[in-house]
Amino acid sequence: MDKTRVVIVVDPGYGHELNRLSRLHPIWIVASQVNDEATRALWKQGIGDITTFRVTEQESRVENLLEILSTVDLHQPGYNSLIVIGITRSEALDARLAASSLVNPRDGVDGFIVDVPE
């Protein structure tokens, strides 16, 4: 498992895709019925490094991402980039990411990738 890249999923309906990424990187995924069921199934199989996080409003995806960043920093030492799933990049979002010291945003296969400077 590559722990230099962490996946943050803010899509409350992503659970059906979780298995595919669960062996590749640590994953932080927003809690929802769909995501929780998929996470529990993988936990029972001993697969992956998956953490769920609760939010007040599931559809406030940008805010949910920005709010979980400090917790990810605390619990995932040594990572240098994030894969963010469940939000479409925009100039406004890129600016907010830069304000949180996240740089070089670019589109990826499963969302977008952003670097975390040392």
Prediction pTM value: 0.95
Q: Are strands 50-53 and 27-30 parallel, antiparallel or unpaired?
A: parallel
Segments forming the whole domain that contains residue 38? 5-115
Please name the residues in contact with 5: beta carbons below 8 A apart, sequence gap of 6 or more: 25, 79, 80, 81, 82, 83, 113
Per-residue model confidence as pLDDT tens digits over 2-57: 899 999 999 999 999 999 899 999 999 999 999 999 999 999 999 989 999 999 99
Q: What local confidence, expressed as pLDDT, does residue 1 receive?
A: 83
Counted domains in the chain: 1
Structure tokens given for 55: 């939010």
Q: Which residue has the higher pLDDT, 39 or 110?
A: 39
Q: Is-contact 89 18, C-beta < 8 A?
A: no
